[in-house]
Structure 1
Amino acid sequence: MKKDNKLASGILLGVVIGTILGIALDNLGLWLSLGIAIGVALEYTKEDDATKRRRTNNENE
């Protein structure tokens, strides 16, 4: 369940950023879809970094 919440926050962030850029640059469809993709990618990147830190901490103990 925790993973779904992170993904939802990434999608929400992407929608907000994509909408702002889309309105500003007069191409809402392009920027909305790019914003969602970038938001989801950022959430997965954060998750991977946290997993790497946990593994490194467990190996050092």
Structure 2
Amino acid sequence: MADPAAPKSESDDSDGFDETGLGAGIAIGMAIGVSIGIGTDNLALWLPIGVAIGVALGAGINQ
């Protein structure tokens, strides 16, 4: 357990960015990319596209 009287380190600073929204966005984007990639038989193309969409979606969730 952390000592509540100890000074906060730089890593403890909250910049208002919630990492769970980004993770959820990436997971959703990957699922979409894999689904389309399997359907079109071009997983190598659609997986990174899905991840990129997921990052954008996750960043939007955090706003």
Which TM-score bucket, shorter chain as reference?
0.5 to 0.7
CA drift at 1:45? 2.3
User: Which stretches of structure 1, 4 residues or more, deviate above 2 A after TM superposition?
Assistant: 45-48
Q: Which structure carries more helix by proportion?
A: 1
Q: Normalising by the residue count of structure 1, what TM-score does the alignment of the two structures yield?
A: 0.67
Larger gyration radius, structure 1 or structure 2:
2
Counterpart in the other structure of 1:38: 53
Distance 2:47 2:36 in 1: 8
Q: Structure 1 stretches of 5 or more lacking a match?
A: 49-61
Distance 2:50 2:18 in 1: 19
CA drift at 1:6? 0.8
**How many residues align structurally?**
48
* Higher RCO (C-alpha 8 Å, min separation 6): 2
Where do residues 19-58 of structure 1 align in structure 2 (5 Å cutoff)? 19-48=34-63
Q: Tell me the C-alpha RMSD between the 2 structures.
A: 1.8
What percent identity do the matched residue pairs reach?
44
CA shift digits 1:12-42 (9 cap, x unpaired): 0011000000000111011010001001102
